Amino acid sequence: MKKESSYCYKYPRPAYTSDCLVFVRTNGIIKILLIKRKNNPFKDYYALPGGFVDEGETSYKAAIRELKEETGLEVDKVNFFGVFDTPGRDPRGWTISAVYYVFIEDKVAKKSKAGDDASGIKLFLPDKLPSLAFDHKKIVEKAVKKLTPIIHK
């Protein structure tokens, strides 16, 4: 009979994801870069670039990695925005997301190319968003409201 470790708890464990808000300056106007999801859930919906945090990886590193995998964009750093953990936010089960943000210039955004779990990439005005996957519309709205002073520098 296998002995249970004293550090093994019978509490449920959530999935851990990391998402990235990408703000793009285009002729003085701020837009948000979104990926079009290639897979279910929410296939063909737009979403923030992001995905699951690998075992042994930090959410910070996962945000940078996922951004590169899904858009081809390489950034050196991202800024922490918040944690989103509302029950039911992901139909696959209990999922907690650490969300980061980064500002890039339009010339950099133009180098983006859909990859990995993304079938497309598009820029949107914050007040003209399409239907978004998961709770990403709430995240974008909260970010735009909270980061307005930074966005308009």
- For residues 116-150, b (16+ Cβ closer than 10 Å) or e, as one string? bbbeebebbebeebeebbbbbbebbebbbeebeee
pLDDT tens across 8-52, in order? Answer: 788 888 999 999 999 998 888 999 999 999 999 999 999 999 999
Q: 83: Cβ–Cβ under 8 A, 6 or more apart, which residues?
A: 96, 97, 98, 99
pLDDT at 124 over 60: yes
pLDDT at 4 over 60: no
Strand partners, 16: 96
- List C-alpha distances in Å: 130 to 20, 116, 143: 17, 21, 16
Tell me the fold of 15-148: Nucleoside Triphosphate Pyrophosphohydrolase (3.90.79)
For the chain, which residues make up each domain, given as ranges? 15-148
How many residues can be counted in the chain?
Answer: 153
